[in-house]
Structure 1
Amino acid sequence: MQVLQVQLEIRPDPAEVGRARRWARSRLAGSGIADDEPLAETLILLVSELVTNAVVHTGCPAVLRLCLPGTAEDAATVRLEVADASTRAPVPRCVDAAATGGRGLALVDGLADRWGWSPEGAGKRIWCELDRCDEPREAAAAAFAGGLKAYEGLAFEAV
Protein backbone atom coordinates (compact mmCIF):
# COMPACT_ATOMS: atom_id res chain seq x y z
CA MET A 1 0.00 0.00 0.00
CA GLN A 2 1.26 3.43 -0.94
CA VAL A 3 0.82 6.43 1.39
CA LEU A 4 1.18 10.05 0.33
CA GLN A 5 2.09 12.68 2.95
CA VAL A 6 1.49 16.34 2.07
CA GLN A 7 1.66 19.47 4.18
CA LEU A 8 0.58 23.10 4.12
CA GLU A 9 1.98 25.96 6.17
CA ILE A 10 -0.73 27.97 7.92
CA ARG A 11 -0.40 31.62 8.90
CA PRO A 12 -2.06 32.80 12.15
CA ASP A 13 -4.96 34.35 10.23
CA PRO A 14 -8.61 33.17 10.31
CA ALA A 15 -8.71 33.34 6.48
CA GLU A 16 -6.30 30.41 6.48
CA VAL A 17 -9.08 28.05 7.57
CA GLY A 18 -10.85 28.36 4.22
CA ARG A 19 -7.56 28.00 2.35
CA ALA A 20 -6.79 24.85 4.36
CA ARG A 21 -10.19 23.35 3.46
CA ARG A 22 -9.70 24.06 -0.25
CA TRP A 23 -6.17 22.64 -0.15
CA ALA A 24 -7.33 19.49 1.66
CA ARG A 25 -10.18 18.95 -0.84
CA SER A 26 -7.76 19.11 -3.75
CA ARG A 27 -5.39 16.64 -2.07
CA LEU A 28 -8.24 14.24 -1.33
CA ALA A 29 -9.37 14.33 -4.94
CA GLY A 30 -5.80 13.62 -6.04
CA SER A 31 -5.75 10.45 -3.94
CA GLY A 32 -9.08 9.20 -5.30
CA ILE A 33 -11.35 10.30 -2.44
CA ALA A 34 -14.38 11.95 -4.04
CA ASP A 35 -15.83 15.22 -2.69
CA ASP A 36 -19.19 13.55 -2.00
CA GLU A 37 -17.67 10.57 -0.18
CA PRO A 38 -18.58 10.66 3.54
CA LEU A 39 -14.89 10.38 4.44
CA ALA A 40 -14.13 13.59 2.52
CA GLU A 41 -16.95 15.55 4.16
CA THR A 42 -15.89 14.42 7.63
CA LEU A 43 -12.21 15.07 6.98
CA ILE A 44 -12.87 18.61 5.72
CA LEU A 45 -14.88 19.34 8.87
CA LEU A 46 -11.98 18.04 10.98
CA VAL A 47 -9.51 20.20 9.03
CA SER A 48 -11.71 23.21 9.81
CA GLU A 49 -11.84 22.42 13.51
CA LEU A 50 -8.14 21.69 14.05
CA VAL A 51 -6.86 24.57 11.90
CA THR A 52 -9.31 26.96 13.57
CA ASN A 53 -8.07 25.85 16.98
CA ALA A 54 -4.45 26.43 15.96
CA VAL A 55 -5.18 29.86 14.47
CA VAL A 56 -7.46 31.10 17.26
CA HIS A 57 -5.77 29.66 20.34
CA THR A 58 -2.06 29.98 19.52
CA GLY A 59 -1.64 33.09 17.36
CA CYS A 60 1.35 31.28 15.80
CA PRO A 61 1.96 29.70 12.41
CA ALA A 62 1.05 26.02 12.12
CA VAL A 63 1.57 23.13 9.72
CA LEU A 64 -1.30 21.02 8.39
CA ARG A 65 -0.32 17.50 7.29
CA LEU A 66 -2.37 14.85 5.54
CA CYS A 67 -1.33 11.22 5.18
CA LEU A 68 -3.46 9.82 2.38
CA PRO A 69 -3.82 6.46 0.65
CA GLY A 70 -1.90 6.48 -2.63
CA THR A 71 -4.80 5.17 -4.74
CA ALA A 72 -8.57 4.81 -4.48
CA GLU A 73 -8.16 1.02 -4.25
CA ASP A 74 -6.15 1.32 -1.02
CA ALA A 75 -8.53 0.73 1.87
CA ALA A 76 -6.61 2.70 4.44
CA THR A 77 -6.58 5.17 7.24
CA VAL A 78 -6.40 8.88 6.50
CA ARG A 79 -4.43 10.85 9.08
CA LEU A 80 -4.72 14.60 9.68
CA GLU A 81 -2.18 16.46 11.83
CA VAL A 82 -1.83 20.09 12.86
CA ALA A 83 1.48 21.08 14.46
CA ASP A 84 1.81 24.45 16.17
CA ALA A 85 4.28 26.28 18.41
CA SER A 86 2.10 26.27 21.54
CA THR A 87 2.90 23.85 24.36
CA ARG A 88 -0.62 24.22 25.79
CA ALA A 89 -2.44 20.88 25.76
CA PRO A 90 -5.76 20.68 23.92
CA VAL A 91 -8.59 20.38 26.45
CA PRO A 92 -12.23 19.72 25.57
CA ARG A 93 -14.45 22.32 27.19
CA CYS A 94 -17.94 22.15 28.66
CA VAL A 95 -19.94 25.04 27.28
CA ASP A 96 -23.55 26.08 27.64
CA ALA A 97 -26.00 26.02 24.76
CA ALA A 98 -25.67 29.77 24.13
CA ALA A 99 -21.88 29.68 23.62
CA THR A 100 -20.69 30.29 20.07
CA GLY A 101 -17.55 28.19 20.41
CA GLY A 102 -15.83 25.62 22.56
CA ARG A 103 -17.18 22.46 20.93
CA GLY A 104 -14.38 21.74 18.46
CA LEU A 105 -12.58 18.97 20.33
CA ALA A 106 -15.88 17.29 21.23
CA LEU A 107 -16.68 17.31 17.52
CA VAL A 108 -13.25 15.88 16.67
CA ASP A 109 -13.71 13.20 19.32
CA GLY A 110 -17.13 12.29 17.97
CA LEU A 111 -16.17 12.19 14.29
CA ALA A 112 -12.65 10.74 14.24
CA ASP A 113 -11.93 7.07 14.73
CA ARG A 114 -8.96 8.08 16.87
CA TRP A 115 -7.37 11.35 17.95
CA GLY A 116 -4.72 12.58 20.31
CA TRP A 117 -1.82 14.94 20.72
CA SER A 118 1.86 14.84 21.57
CA PRO A 119 4.62 17.34 22.30
CA GLU A 120 6.65 18.20 19.20
CA GLY A 121 9.79 20.30 19.51
CA ALA A 122 8.82 23.59 21.13
CA GLY A 123 5.12 22.97 20.47
CA LYS A 124 2.66 20.15 19.91
CA ARG A 125 1.02 18.02 17.25
CA ILE A 126 -2.71 17.28 17.34
CA TRP A 127 -3.78 14.41 15.12
CA CYS A 128 -6.86 12.45 14.17
CA GLU A 129 -7.46 9.43 11.98
CA LEU A 130 -10.38 8.27 9.89
CA ASP A 131 -10.66 4.72 8.62
CA ARG A 132 -11.79 4.57 5.03
CA CYS A 133 -14.97 2.52 4.71
CA ASP A 134 -18.08 2.44 2.56
CA GLU A 135 -20.55 3.45 5.27
CA PRO A 136 -20.55 6.86 6.98
CA ARG A 137 -19.97 6.80 10.71
CA GLU A 138 -23.05 7.28 12.87
CA ALA A 139 -21.62 10.38 14.52
CA ALA A 140 -20.77 11.96 11.17
CA ALA A 141 -24.23 11.25 9.82
CA ALA A 142 -25.84 12.83 12.89
CA ALA A 143 -23.56 15.87 12.75
CA PHE A 144 -24.18 16.51 9.07
CA ALA A 145 -27.92 16.08 9.53
CA GLY A 146 -27.80 19.06 11.91
CA GLY A 147 -28.87 16.97 14.89
CA LEU A 148 -27.94 17.60 18.49
CA LYS A 149 -25.53 14.98 19.76
CA ALA A 150 -24.35 14.51 23.34
CA TYR A 151 -20.87 13.21 23.94
CA GLU A 152 -19.66 12.47 27.47
CA GLY A 153 -21.55 15.38 28.97
CA LEU A 154 -20.73 17.75 26.11
CA ALA A 155 -23.30 18.78 23.55
CA PHE A 156 -22.71 20.17 20.11
CA GLU A 157 -24.96 21.06 17.27
CA ALA A 158 -23.79 21.02 13.67
CA VAL A 159 -25.30 23.97 11.83
Structure 2
Amino acid sequence: MDRSSDAPPHPAQALPVPAWQGTWRFTLPPIDSSVPQARHAIRDLLRRRAAPLSAERTHGLMLILSELVTNAVRHAALLTPEIGVEVTVDPHWAWVRVEDGHPYRPHALAASPERQRTGGRGLLLVQATAQEAGGSCGVRATAGGGKVIWAVLPLDRPTGRPATSPPPRSAP
Protein backbone atom coordinates (compact mmCIF):
# COMPACT_ATOMS: atom_id res chain seq x y z
CA MET A 1 0.00 0.00 0.00
CA ASP A 2 1.38 3.38 -1.00
CA ARG A 3 1.33 5.83 1.96
CA SER A 4 2.93 8.75 0.16
CA SER A 5 -0.45 10.51 -0.11
CA ASP A 6 -0.60 10.68 3.72
CA ALA A 7 2.66 12.61 3.95
CA PRO A 8 2.51 16.38 4.38
CA PRO A 9 3.29 18.36 1.25
CA HIS A 10 6.90 19.17 0.59
CA PRO A 11 7.67 22.88 1.20
CA ALA A 12 8.31 23.33 -2.51
CA GLN A 13 4.74 22.10 -3.12
CA ALA A 14 3.17 24.63 -0.73
CA LEU A 15 0.72 27.02 -2.32
CA PRO A 16 2.06 30.53 -2.87
CA VAL A 17 0.61 33.32 -0.77
CA PRO A 18 -1.47 35.66 -2.93
CA ALA A 19 0.04 39.11 -3.52
CA TRP A 20 -2.90 40.75 -1.71
CA GLN A 21 -2.06 39.01 1.59
CA GLY A 22 0.42 40.63 3.92
CA THR A 23 1.12 43.42 6.36
CA TRP A 24 2.33 46.87 5.35
CA ARG A 25 3.48 49.61 7.73
CA PHE A 26 4.49 53.24 7.36
CA THR A 27 4.70 56.36 9.49
CA LEU A 28 3.43 59.88 8.94
CA PRO A 29 3.94 63.20 10.68
CA PRO A 30 0.98 64.34 12.85
CA ILE A 31 -0.17 67.03 10.41
CA ASP A 32 -3.42 67.53 8.47
CA SER A 33 -1.96 66.51 5.11
CA SER A 34 -1.21 63.04 6.55
CA VAL A 35 -4.92 62.13 6.47
CA PRO A 36 -5.32 62.09 2.66
CA GLN A 37 -1.76 60.78 2.29
CA ALA A 38 -2.59 57.71 4.42
CA ARG A 39 -5.90 57.16 2.64
CA HIS A 40 -4.35 57.36 -0.85
CA ALA A 41 -1.41 55.15 0.11
CA ILE A 42 -3.61 52.36 1.51
CA ARG A 43 -6.20 52.57 -1.27
CA ASP A 44 -3.49 52.42 -3.94
CA LEU A 45 -1.77 49.53 -2.17
CA LEU A 46 -5.00 47.51 -1.99
CA ARG A 47 -5.72 48.20 -5.67
CA ARG A 48 -2.18 47.28 -6.82
CA ARG A 49 -2.32 44.08 -4.80
CA ALA A 50 -5.84 43.28 -6.08
CA ALA A 51 -7.20 42.72 -2.56
CA PRO A 52 -10.66 41.09 -2.69
CA LEU A 53 -12.51 44.18 -1.46
CA SER A 54 -15.49 45.70 -3.24
CA ALA A 55 -15.64 49.44 -3.85
CA GLU A 56 -18.12 49.71 -0.95
CA ARG A 57 -15.87 47.76 1.45
CA THR A 58 -12.83 49.76 0.35
CA HIS A 59 -14.77 52.97 0.93
CA GLY A 60 -15.64 51.82 4.45
CA LEU A 61 -12.01 50.98 5.17
CA MET A 62 -10.88 54.39 3.85
CA LEU A 63 -13.50 56.15 5.98
CA ILE A 64 -12.25 54.31 9.06
CA LEU A 65 -8.61 55.06 8.22
CA SER A 66 -9.39 58.75 7.70
CA GLU A 67 -11.16 59.01 11.05
CA LEU A 68 -8.38 57.24 12.93
CA VAL A 69 -5.56 59.27 11.39
CA THR A 70 -7.57 62.48 11.88
CA ASN A 71 -8.00 61.64 15.57
CA ALA A 72 -4.27 61.03 15.94
CA VAL A 73 -3.47 64.34 14.22
CA ARG A 74 -6.01 66.35 16.23
CA HIS A 75 -5.70 64.78 19.65
CA ALA A 76 -2.27 63.17 19.94
CA ALA A 77 0.11 65.38 17.95
CA LEU A 78 1.79 66.92 21.01
CA LEU A 79 2.86 63.50 22.27
CA THR A 80 3.33 61.83 18.89
CA PRO A 81 6.34 62.60 16.68
CA GLU A 82 5.07 60.02 14.14
CA ILE A 83 1.75 58.31 13.55
CA GLY A 84 2.08 54.62 12.74
CA VAL A 85 -0.27 53.18 10.13
CA GLU A 86 -0.53 49.47 9.44
CA VAL A 87 -2.77 47.45 7.16
CA THR A 88 -2.98 43.67 7.17
CA VAL A 89 -4.93 41.56 4.71
CA ASP A 90 -5.26 37.87 5.54
CA PRO A 91 -7.47 35.22 3.91
CA HIS A 92 -10.62 36.54 5.62
CA TRP A 93 -10.07 40.03 7.03
CA ALA A 94 -8.65 43.47 6.26
CA TRP A 95 -7.20 45.17 9.34
CA VAL A 96 -6.24 48.80 9.76
CA ARG A 97 -4.32 50.02 12.81
CA VAL A 98 -3.29 53.56 13.72
CA GLU A 99 -0.79 54.09 16.53
CA ASP A 100 -0.04 57.30 18.38
CA GLY A 101 1.86 58.28 21.51
CA HIS A 102 -1.03 59.67 23.56
CA PRO A 103 -2.09 57.55 26.57
CA TYR A 104 -5.81 58.48 26.48
CA ARG A 105 -8.02 55.58 25.36
CA PRO A 106 -10.97 57.17 23.53
CA HIS A 107 -14.47 55.76 23.36
CA ALA A 108 -17.31 56.34 20.93
CA LEU A 109 -19.58 59.27 21.82
CA ALA A 110 -23.22 58.63 21.03
CA ALA A 111 -25.24 61.42 19.45
CA SER A 112 -27.90 62.95 21.68
CA PRO A 113 -30.29 65.93 21.48
CA GLU A 114 -28.46 67.54 24.41
CA ARG A 115 -25.13 67.43 22.60
CA GLN A 116 -25.08 70.07 19.89
CA ARG A 117 -21.42 69.56 18.95
CA THR A 118 -20.74 68.50 15.41
CA GLY A 119 -17.43 66.81 16.31
CA GLY A 120 -16.47 64.05 18.68
CA ARG A 121 -18.31 61.24 16.99
CA GLY A 122 -15.57 59.88 14.75
CA LEU A 123 -15.15 56.69 16.75
CA LEU A 124 -18.91 56.15 16.70
CA LEU A 125 -18.68 56.32 12.90
CA VAL A 126 -15.73 53.88 12.93
CA GLN A 127 -17.64 51.49 15.16
CA ALA A 128 -20.83 51.69 13.07
CA THR A 129 -18.95 51.26 9.77
CA ALA A 130 -17.04 48.23 11.06
CA GLN A 131 -20.11 46.57 12.57
CA GLU A 132 -22.28 47.21 9.53
CA ALA A 133 -19.70 45.38 7.40
CA GLY A 134 -19.52 42.47 9.84
CA GLY A 135 -16.27 43.54 11.50
CA SER A 136 -15.25 45.13 14.76
CA CYS A 137 -12.93 47.74 16.25
CA GLY A 138 -11.09 48.43 19.46
CA VAL A 139 -8.22 50.15 21.22
CA ARG A 140 -5.22 48.75 23.07
CA ALA A 141 -2.28 50.20 24.93
CA THR A 142 1.23 50.08 23.51
CA ALA A 143 4.37 49.27 25.45
CA GLY A 144 5.52 52.88 25.02
CA GLY A 145 2.45 54.32 26.76
CA GLY A 146 0.47 55.24 23.66
CA LYS A 147 -2.33 53.39 21.95
CA VAL A 148 -3.31 51.52 18.82
CA ILE A 149 -6.84 51.94 17.55
CA TRP A 150 -7.78 49.17 15.14
CA ALA A 151 -10.66 48.10 12.95
CA VAL A 152 -11.20 44.94 10.97
CA LEU A 153 -13.56 44.29 8.07
CA PRO A 154 -14.26 40.98 6.34
CA LEU A 155 -13.08 40.51 2.79
CA ASP A 156 -15.78 40.35 0.15
CA ARG A 157 -14.49 37.09 -1.28
CA PRO A 158 -12.84 35.19 1.55
CA THR A 159 -10.66 32.28 0.57
CA GLY A 160 -10.57 28.94 2.30
CA ARG A 161 -12.93 28.32 5.20
CA PRO A 162 -15.11 31.40 5.69
CA ALA A 163 -14.92 33.28 8.95
CA THR A 164 -18.28 33.40 10.69
CA SER A 165 -17.69 36.18 13.19
CA PRO A 166 -15.30 39.09 13.63
CA PRO A 167 -12.11 38.60 15.59
CA PRO A 168 -12.42 39.25 19.33
CA ARG A 169 -12.40 42.84 20.58
CA SER A 170 -9.00 42.28 22.16
CA ALA A 171 -7.47 41.57 18.76
CA PRO A 172 -4.25 43.37 17.90
TM-score (normalised: structure 1): 0.73
RMSD: 2.0
Q: Deviations over 1:57-112 (max 9, x none)?
A: 1012210100024xxxx5x2000001111111012224556423111110111011
Distance across 2 between alignment mates of 1:20 and 1:53: 13
Does the alignment pair 1:45 with 2:68?
A: no
Deviation at 1:125, TM superposition (A): 0.9
Is the counterpart of residue 132 in structure 1 residue 132 in structure 2? no
Amino acid at match of 1:10: L
Aligned partner (choices 18, 22, 25) of residue 43 of structure 2: 25
Match of 1:16 among 34, 37, 45: 34
SS in structure 1 opposite 2:47? helix
Look up the SS of the partner of 1:8 in the other structure: strand
CA pair 51-106 structure 1, distance change in 2 beyond 3 A: same
Aligned counterparts, 1:9-158, within 5 A: 9-33=27-51, 37-59=55-77, 60=80, 61-69=82-90, 74=91, 76-95=92-111, 98-112=116-130, 113-122=135-144, 123-133=146-156
How far apart, in 2, do the equivalents of 1:34 and 1:130 lie? Answer: 12
**Structure with the larger strand share:** 1
Corresponding letter in the other structure for 1:78: A
Structure 1 stretch displaced more, 27-36 or 83-92? 27-36
- Kept in 1, the 8 Å contact 2:86–2:96? The answer is yes
What percent of counterpart residues are identical? Answer: 27
| TM-score normalized by the length of structure 2 | 0.68
In structure 1, runs of 5+ residues without a counterpart are 135-159
Amino acid at match of 1:131: P
Q: Which residue of 1 aligns with 2:8?
A: none
Any gaps of 5 or more consecutive residues in structure 2? 1-16, 158-172
Aligned length: 129
Cα shift at 1:31: 2.4
Displacement after TM superposition at 1:36 (Å): 5.9
